[in-house]
Amino acid sequence: MHGTVAPDWVGDRSTMAVDIPENPASFLPDVEREAHDWMTRFAAGNATAAELAAFKQWSARDRAHVEAFARACQLWEAVGPASELMHANAPLQQARRGHIGRRAFIGGAIAASSAAAYVAIRPPLELWPSLSELAADYRTAPGEQRSVVLAGGASVELNTRTSIVLRPSTEATERIELISGETAVAARPDKGRAIEVIAGSGRIAATDALFNVRYEDGVVCTTCVSGALEVAWGDRVTRLRPGHEVVYSRDAMRPVTAVNTATVMAWKDGVLVFQARPLGDAVAEINRYRSGRIIITNAQLRRRSFSARFLIANVDTVVTQIQQVFEASVTNLPGGIVLLG
């Protein structure tokens, strides 16, 4: 035993504070501990070819190894941030080879109330919708697209993994909130009402325009395709004309830039287009259109430039394409999890 565990019941006894040992994974059964050790190596993004070969041998020895690693993938993103919620004033230790670090290991890693709350708010590896997404008025599943005509006349097209909520409107303006994902909005002046889209810390307003709004990982990108629109962020108002976009987050608004709107809107035609994108960014986009998760285990591979054009309906074929172009190794795991190395 590397440390002692001292229960300290608080309030309604729903939370237990513990003295965390240096390597809490040591409490796990051998197979689970080995799976978490492999996960820490891949999460660091610097696994070697020899390590990946060793992992394949380990996973091939027993189906239980593969299932344990799949569980480790699902828990990995939950355990670290849940620990931050519980120990906000404690420095977060970086994961090292074969160790998880001084992280909360309570009630089976995520059974404690704070960890469970985190998983509900931000599901690990985005394998299921968050609470806010489940509460949306309209929501699309991975790979699904949907069109909605609002009462005020504006049309809204939802891309994959997109959630919107209808907000109180006025006689002059109809309002929706983009909880997450991507949507194309067409405001029609002949219907008499403007449209306002709330996204993150800003708002996008238009009377006669076609525009695209994407909200992912706290960043909002608004692209004007036709007409004109205004993007309000704090006390700043930016006016966009066709072929231009602006990006903002909670902390800043970037300058307006020119873009190829055909590429931005290609998803409406069921197509994904990548032009000299880092493979890591491309895979993050591809993950939005499929169940499960593609994980790149090699940092160098993640930085490689990737250009491709393919149908969203054939999104799973991209793994084979990446394997052929970059001579990458592929390991398929339960739950649609794929390792690329």
Per-residue pLDDT tens for 264-323?
A: 999 999 999 999 999 999 999 999 998 778 888 888 999 999 999 989 999 888 899 899
- Model confidence at 119, pLDDT cuts 50, 70, 90, reads very low
Give the contacts of 93 (CB within 8 A, at least 6 positions apart). 101, 102, 103
CATH number of 270-340, picked from 3.55.50.30, 1.10.260.40, 3.30.930.10, 3.80.30.10: 3.55.50.30
CA end-to-end span of the chain, whole Å? 35
For position 153, what pLDDT does the model report?
Answer: 85
What share of the chain has pLDDT > 90, as a percent? 42
More confident residue, 331 or 50: 331
Whether the pTM exceeds 0.85: the reply is no
258-273 pLDDT tens trace: 999 999 999 999 999 9
Cα 32 to Cα 231: distance, rounded to the nearest angstrom: 49
Tell me which of 91-100, 175-184, 240-249, 295-304 is least confident: 91-100
Cα 19 to Cα 104: distance, rounded to the nearest angstrom: 9
Query: If you average pLDDT over residues 314-333, what whole number do you get?
Result: 88
Question: What are the structural domain ranges in the chain?
Answer: 20-128, 132-259, 270-340
User: What six digits make up the tokens of 186?
Assistant: 């067409």
Strand 337-340 and strand 293-296: pairing? parallel
More confident residue, 201 or 71: 201
Find the angle CA(340)-CA(95)-CA(18) to the nearest 5 degrees: 130
Query: If you average pLDDT over residues 55-84, what whole number do you get?
Result: 66
CB contact at 8 A, 187 and 207: yes
Is the CATH number of domain 132-259 2.40.50.140?
A: no
Cα 279 to Cα 209: distance, rounded to the nearest angstrom: 33
- The residue written with tokens 């649609």 in the block is 336
Judged against a pLDDT cut of 50, whether residue 3 lies above it is answered with no
